[in-house]
Structure 1
Amino acid sequence: MPPSSDIATQPVEVLPDYLSRTYSWAYLDPRTVPWLDRSPVVSAILWGNAARLMRWAVAQFVPGETVLQAACVYGGFSPMLARRVGEQGRLTVLDVAPIQVDNVRRKLVGLPQAEARVADLTQRQDACFDAACCFFLLHEVPARERRLIVANLLAAVRPGGRVVFVDYHRASAWHPLRPLMGLVFRWLEPFAQSLLDTPIESLAEAASDFEWRKQTCFGGLYQLVVATRRQVSE
């Protein structure tokens, strides 16, 4: 069933400066958005691992759950997640960029259990979900905003609920792509470096209220972290 209180979103008057300054070409330009939102492009960016990583994340959810997706994702991730929760569940996608919300809404046509809205994830969301998903967002935001987003996602799930993070991780020293990814992070992803060696659980003051599980894949280049809120003791 839907969240107990429908999520209240505030209009975003101005896009975050870091987004406009750093990622305008990738997320705000109507000329590049359709091109980047093609599955072959998404797969190439993730070195052929896009489908694997999406399945890895989606498998953490079960049919019938209410799920918050933090930010839009290029490729087929949102429809895949919507199908996973099914008609008895609910998927709410929130993103600060109207162009991204419009884009994902087109992909969610025919999936009435899913909706997309404009909202700033650095602000607390007035709703409670069974689970939340953060797929390759944290490496694209500065440290301050990253902490706020993690805190707000943790606050958005009820006892027993989960927050699933999939993102970059420090690759093993032997990984042949490690030097190249260092250049990618330096020139295209300026906020990623600060995430690579930082445990996600260390970003949240409420970390002790959750049980944390971490896995890595592809030589450590990618990580999946699941935070499960502890049940309230009676």
Structure 2
Amino acid sequence: MNTRNETTAPPVAFLPGYLCRTYAWAYLSPRTMPWLDRMPVVSAILWGNAGRLMRWTVDRFAPGDSVLQAACVYGALSPMLARRVGVGGRLDVRDVAPIQIANVRRKLAGLPQARAEVFDLVEPLDERFDGVCCFFLLHEVPEPERRRIVANLLAAVKPGGRAVFVDYHRPRRGHLLAPVMAVVFRWLEPFAESLLDVPLETLAAEARDFDWHKETRFGGLYQLVVATRR
């Protein structure tokens, strides 16, 4: 692997308590990670929509862009982003969990335009990017941390650049999967409910410097939001 991928930021002091209490089985276990990090599994979790949501996300960026990916993502998103920006661009992946960074470095082997660093996104970022990608992260963090993360991600976007958020959303009334997702959120995603009805542009004061465009997919279950810095 290129030496850029071997460089890490100073380690975080400790893993967030909410991550250890709620998601250790999904993101911190070397037993479950290889199983969950498969596109068929990711696609099943997203009701067959993983591929199209990832493609929609990747298409928001251009060859030559410098892109920050906020947190590691299971499946093929990171290699897709790295190939999209190409050798003339750059992909930085930052995640608070060292085990996740080690895993994404493996997936990015042979892509010298990509690097991955241990970093807690509740802390301000040290540089700006043409684009920021936040794919199904916000529903997994408590509201106070969510607001700090959104503020930091928006602050990291260059003038004319964009932040792309893809996440859960309140499904339309009568959606056949609404009862199922209510159970999923209650038992597996306890922070999701506080996100479903909240416009992302209300989460940070930095949002006023951006133009916001929101779409929904799959009966409103997913939201796709692009914030472009003026």
Fold-level similarity (TM above 0.5): yes
Q: Secondary structure at the match of 1:196?
A: coil
Contact 2:138–2:146 (Cα < 8 Å) also in 1: yes
**In structure 2, distance between residues paired with 1:80 and 1:217:** 21
Query: What residue number does 2:137 align with?
Result: 137
Say whether 1:161 aligns with 2:161.
yes
**What's the CA shift string for 1:34-73, capped at 9, x where partnerless?**
0100111101000000001000111100000000000000
Equivalent in the alignment of 1:4:
none
Q: What residue number does 2:206 align with?
A: 206
Aligned to 1:22: 22
TM-score (norm 1): 0.94
2:222 corresponds to: 222
- Over 3 Å counting, the alpha-carbon distance change for 1:60 and 1:107 in structure 2 is same
Give runs of aligned pairs for residues 59-78 of structure 1, distance below 5 A: 59-78=59-78
Cα-to-partner distance string for 1:114-169 (whole Å, 9 max, x where unaligned): 00000000000111111100000000000000000000000001111100000000
Secondary structure at the aligned position of 2:30 is classed as: coil
Structure 2 distance, partners of 1:20, 1:14, is: 10
Residue matched to 2:146: 146
Query: Shift in Å at residue 101 of structure 1?
Result: 0.2
Counterpart residue number, 2:176: 176
Q: Which residue of 2 is the match for residue 188 of structure 1?
A: 188
Which residue number corresponds to residue 32 of structure 1?
32
Matches of 2:138 and 2:208 in 1, distance apart? 20
| One-letter amino acid of the counterpart of residue 32, structure 1 | T
The alpha-carbon deviation at position 11 of structure 1 amounts to: 1.6
Quote how far apart the aligned CAs of 1:13 are: 1.8
SS of alignment partner, residue 205 of structure 2: coil
Which residue of structure 1 lines up, in the alignment, with residue 3 of structure 2? none
Counterparts in 2 of 1:117-128, with a 5 A limit? Answer: 117-128=117-128
Secondary structure at the residue paired with 2:104?
A: helix
Query: Shift in Å at residue 8 of structure 1?
Result: 9.1
Deviations along 1:76-100, whole A, 9 cap, x unmatched? 0000000000010000000000000
AA aligned opposite 1:124: P
Contact map agreement 1:63 1:88 (CA 8 A) in 2: yes
Aligned to 1:213, what secondary structure does the other structure show? Answer: strand
Distance in structure 1 (CA, Å) of the matches to 2:126 and 2:12: 16
**Rounded Cα–Cα distance in structure 1 between residues aligned with 2:87 and 2:109:** 13
CA distance in 2, matches of 1:213, 1:221: 17
Alignment partner, residue 48 of structure 2: 48
Moved over 4 A (4+): none
Instruction: Please state how far the C-alpha of 1:9 moved relative to its aligned partner.
Output: 3.7
Structure 1 residue runs of 5 or longer lacking an equivalent are 1-6
Aligned residues: 224
For structure 2, the residue ranges without an aligned partner over 5 or more in a row are: 1-6
How many Å separate the matches in 1 of 2:58 and 2:141?
Answer: 23
Q: Percent identity?
A: 71
Give 2:18's aligned amino acid: Y
Indicate the residue corresponding to 2:112 in structure 1: 112
